[in-house]
Amino acid sequence: MKVKKRGIVLVVSLIIMAVLLVLVGMYLSSLLTEKRAADRGKFVLQALELAEAGASHAQSELRQRIRQTMRANLSAANVNQAGNNLANYFNAPQPLGLLQDYAGFSIIGNTANIFLGPINLTNWGNYWSIVTVAPNGNPQNPDTDVYVFSYNYSIEAQGLVTQTTPNTTRRVGLSQGTFSVTVQRGNFARYALFTNHHRTAGGTTVWFTANTNFTGPVHSNERFSFANNPSATFSEAVTQHLSTARFYNNGATRLLNADSNPACCQEAGCEDTPCIDKPIFNAGFTRGADEINLPSSVVQQDLLNQATGGQNDGPWANGIYLPNDGANNLVGGIYIKGNASNVTMSVDSDNPVYTITRGTNTKRITVDYSANQTTVENVSGSGGTPPGTYNGIPNGIGDAGIIIYDNGSISNFSGNVQSDTQLTVASNSDISISNHIMYESFTPDDVGTSENELSVAGFTNLLGIVTWNGNVRISTGAPNNLNIHAVVMAAGRNGVFTVDNYNSGAPRGVVTLLGGAITDFYGAFGTFSGSNPVSGYGRNFVYDSRMLGGMAPPYFPTITSFDANVSDANGDGVDDLGNRLIWEDRGV
């Protein structure tokens, strides 16, 4: 009986053990299933992250090739050959040729492509990506040596995790983006700062310090000088002709073919190396760049011709002229023969008004865009073009914008640029700024010195100030905290943008320049003791970002190469390739 009971206990024990084993097996199986599912989710997430990395890489590569590679290749190309190529892309039409020849795209059928990958990021995964670009309509040729190419593009990327069997893949893509590229003769207006010689005319070194910040391209045909850590900050490309830059080096200046002093402190792995002088270059610092010559007398003659309507001013007496055909039709711009004592811009009933004094004659010139008419009044004196209403706008022969040209100097220049007006004021000799020069339409700066808020993005008014054989000067009578909204150029030998008597008197605040400065030498604005102003003005130079999109004041001098700029369709100061994109998960 005891044996039988023991047998029953044994059988029951075995059954219990079997049930437990089954339950444990089921539990372990569920754990394994859950682990596989978790691993699968992890691998899918890893593959998706790899795909997104590939898409971001492709987007970055597209921006690099359009914004920088194309621009650099066009700038380095023979200007005549580049001009012929651009004409062929327009005439064929063959817009993809631009991407192939100057940005390194591969042409397949009717698309231009960039292939990236597979790129192994780890020992367990990689990605590939492709940018596909197609024409968005035919190229446009709105003006001489100006071409506009529009494109659609898409991006596809795949992430691959190789530590699973089968491998785990995921794809993402951007269905379609758009961008347009304007290729044109390069214009000096695109520079936030351009110096032929980056020093004062007296030979004094100009140091870039932490107080120096430029948000546009900067170039010198000599070398730049940098002091301290941190030093200056540059958002766009910085280029100089000489192969070495000057570094302050705690007073023991040195020349280095490097981005910093010492060169190592800009490199990874050199964290323990003291960095003495360290500027920040967000778009690179190129040394040994080609020299860019300031415009010649041939270009000056072109502006003179635009103002005179191509007429011979030799027989004309000193005075203020609006060249016309004798039948009340304007054929040029506004031409001043002899030194002008005053040029003032104003706005009356939404019309731009130019009040000009030459000798004893003062004329009030009112431009009516809606009626396509210009009215001339004699405020005092006589001479030059007779009073009356003339057909047309003083836009020069090329109809590019209003041009005012003085074959002498302009002693007092000031006023407001009407919201629809694009204007260049040029002279053979000095132009003296005596009061504020401001755009009627712009985004004001609420705090007085912020480069981020003061802007003309989205507006059309534009001013260029050019002197060919003199200086652009801020007079002693100009107010404190002066505003100048313009691209300023002193193109002649020893030409500077400077302040009269900058080294005497009390501090006068700052000059806020909304635009850029192109000069032969670097002009003095004021004197300082440490960080404290002693005399003259401080500089608050705010770049006009529209210049990077291809805008320039009418008839502003061009350089001997082509330049490429991506359009800003929204007018927000960010080009079309800078727009934030939303990626779509395309699955496996």
pLDDT at 197: 95
Asked if residue 538 and residue 452 are part of one domain, the reply reads yes
Residue 303 domain flag? yes
Torsion-angle region of residue 371: left (phi > 0), alpha (psi -120 to 50) or beta? alpha
pLDDT at 144: 77
Listed residues 287, 313, 338: the one ending a domain = 287
Q: Over 60: is that where the pLDDT of 229 sits?
A: yes
Residue 320 domain flag? yes
Of 396, 434, 394, 431, give the one whose Cα is nearest residue 414: 434
Helices (H), 159-257: none
Asked if residue 283 and residue 418 are part of one domain, the reply reads no
pLDDT at 29: 59
Asked if residue 346 and residue 267 are part of one domain, the reply reads no
Asked if residue 385 and residue 240 are part of one domain, the reply reads no
Kindly state the average pLDDT of the residues 310-328: 95
pLDDT at 226: 92
Asked if residue 540 and residue 473 are part of one domain, the reply reads yes
Tally of domains within the chain:
2
Residue 129 domain flag? no
Tens-place pLDDT, residues 239-259? 999 999 999 999 999 999 999
Asked if residue 423 and residue 303 are part of one domain, the reply reads yes
Q: What is the percent of the chain with per-residue pLDDT over 90, rounded to a whole number? A: 57
Asked if residue 274 and residue 321 are part of one domain, the reply reads no
CA atoms within 13 A on the CB side of 209: 11
Tens-place pLDDT, residues 100-112? 999 999 999 999 9
Burial 473-485 (b: 16+ CB within 10 A, else e): bbbeebeebbbbb
Identity of the residue numbered 370 = S
Residue, of 586 and 313, whose pLDDT is higher? 313
Residue 37 domain flag? no
What are the CB-based long-range contacts (under 8 Å, 24+) for 34-42? 39/164, 40/164, 40/168
pLDDT at 334: 98
pLDDT at 214: 84
Question: Which residue range is the domain that position 270 belongs to?
Answer: 197-287
Q: How far apart are CA 65 and CA 114, in angstroms?
A: 10
pLDDT at 450: 42
Identity of the residue numbered 285 = F
Residue 159 domain flag? no
Query: CB of 549 within 8 A of CB of 67?
Result: no
Q: Over 50: is that where the pLDDT of 37 sits?
A: no
Residue 78 domain flag? no
Tens-place pLDDT, residues 407-466? 999 999 999 999 999 999 999 999 999 999 999 988 886 544 444 467 888 899 999 999
Residue 272 domain flag? yes
Residue 433 domain flag? yes
* Alpha carbon of residue 325 to chain centroid: 40
